[in-house]
A and B are shown apart, each in its own frame.
Chain A
Amino acid sequence: MRSLVHALALVAGALFAFPIQAQSPRYGGELVFPVPSEPPSYDGHREETFGLIHPIAPFYNTLLRVDPNDKSGTKPAPSLAESWSVSQDGKTYTFQLHRGVKFHDGSEMTSKDVKASYDKIIFPPPGVGSTRKGQYVVVESVEAPEPYTVVFRLKHPSGSFIASLLSPYNFIYKADILAKDPHWYETHIMGTGPFTFVEHVKGSHVVGKKNPNYWDKGKPYLDGFRAVFMRDTAAQVAAVRGERAQIQFRGFTPVARNDLEKALGNKITVQESPWDCILLVAINHKKKPFDDPRVRRALTLALDRYEGSKALSRIAIVKEVAGVQVPGTPFATPPDELAKLAGYWRDPEKSRAEARRLLKEAGVPEGFSFTFMNRGIPMPYEPLGVWMIDQWRKVGLNVTQRVIEPAAYFGSLRKGEHEVAMDFQCGYIVEPDLDMYKFLSSSRNPANYGYYEDPVLDQLYDKQSQATNPEERKKIIREFEKRVLDEQAHYLMTLQWHRIIPHSSRLHGWTITPSHYLNNTLDTVWLSP
Chain B
Amino acid sequence: MALYILKRLLAMVPTLLGVAVLIFLLLRVIPGDVVEARYLTQGSQFQSQELMDLERKKLGLDQPLWKQFGSWMSGLGRLDFGLSMWTASPITEEIKLRFALSLQVAIMASTIATLLAIPLGILAAVKQDSWVDYAVRVFSIAGLATPSFWLGTLMILAMLIIFKWVPPMVFTPLWVNPWDNLAQLIWPALAVGYRYCAVGTRMMRSTMLEVLREDYIRTARAKGLWLKLILTRHALKNAILPVLTVISMEFAFLLGGLVVTEQVFNLNGLGMLFVEAISHRDYTLTQALVMLVATFFLIVNFVVDIAYAWLDPRIRYR
Contacts and interface: CB of A to CB of B under 8 A. Distances in A.
A462 to B, nearest CB: 15
Interface string A167-188: 0000000000000000000110
Interface stretch (B135-143, B231-239, B250-258, B262-270): B262-270
B44 interface: yes
Interface in B153-191: 153, 156-157, 159-160, 164-166, 168-171
A243 B58 CA distance: 43
Nearest to B94: A202
A407 B51 contact: no
Contact of A129 (B47, B51, B264): B51
Contact of A410 (B40, B94, B157, B276): B40
Interface string B264-296: 111010001100100111000000000000000
B9 interface: no
A334 interface: no
Given A41-B88, A203-B97, A425-B45, A244 B263 contact: no
A435 interface: yes
B45 A407 contact: no
B170 A235 contact: no
A238 B157 CA distance: 8
Contact of A203 (B47, B160, B273, B279): B273
A409 B39 CA distance: 12
Contacts of B305: none
Contact of B41 (A32, A239, A409, A412): A409
A411 B40 contact: yes
A258 to B, nearest CB: 15
A409 B41 CA distance: 8
Contacts of A403: none
Contacts of B72: none
Contacts of B58: 127
A411 B47 CA distance: 12
Most buried by A among B43, B45, B279: B45
Contacts of A133: 46, 48, 51
Interface residues of A, number: 59
B98 A203 contact: yes
B39 A407 contact: no
Interface in A96-116: none
A38 B279 CA distance: 13
A277 B43 contact: yes
B165 A242 contact: yes
A40 interface: yes
Interface residues of B, number: 53
Interface in A271-308: 277
A204 B166 CA distance: 17
Interface stretch (B18-26, B28-36, B307-315): B28-36
A414 to B, nearest CB: 8
A435 B166 contact: no
Interface string B181-204: 000000000000000000000000
B184 to A, nearest CB: 11
A59 to B, nearest CB: 18
A434 interface: yes
A131 B44 contact: yes
Interface string B80-113: 0000001111000110011000000000000000
B42 interface: yes
Contact of A131 (B36, B39, B160, B164): B39
Most buried by A among B156, B159, B268: B268
Contacts of B86: 40
A212 to B, nearest CB: 25
Contact of A235 (B30, B31, B266): B266
B130 interface: no
A208 to B, nearest CB: 15
Contact of B51 (A32, A130, A412, A435): A130
B38 interface: yes
A232 interface: yes
- Secondary structure dominating the interface of A: mixed
A41 B46 contact: no
Contacts of B36: 407-408, 410-411
A132 interface: yes
A338 interface: no
Contacts of B266: 228, 230-232, 235, 239
A437 B264 contact: no
B54 A129 contact: yes
A407 B42 contact: no
A484 B279 CA distance: 34
A226 B281 CA distance: 28
Interface string A30-49: 00101000101100000111
A260 B33 CA distance: 38
Nearest to B44: A48
Interface string A236-247: 001101111100
Most buried by B among A203, A244, A410, A446: A203
A239 B43 contact: no
A25 interface: no
Contacts of B157: 238
A235 B264 contact: yes
Contacts of B93: 202
Contacts of A406: 41, 279
Contacts of A408: 30-32, 36
Contacts of B43: 277, 424-427
B82 to A, nearest CB: 16
A329 to B, nearest CB: 16
A411 B48 contact: no
Contact of B263 (A232, A277, A424, A426): A232
A134 interface: yes
8 contacts: A131-B46, A201-B97, A204-B97, A226-B170, A242-B160, A407-B36, A407-B41, A407-B281
In the A-B complex, the 6 residue pairs with the smallest Cβ-Cβ separation, listed nearest first, are A242-B166, A426-B43, A410-B40, A408-B31, A134-B46, A408-B32
Given A34-B169, A41-B87, 19 more contacts: A48-B42, A49-B42, A131-B44, A135-B45, A204-B170, A226-B170, A228-B169, A235-B263, A235-B264, A238-B160, A243-B164, A244-B168, A277-B43, A408-B32, A409-B32, A411-B33, A425-B45, A427-B43, A447-B47
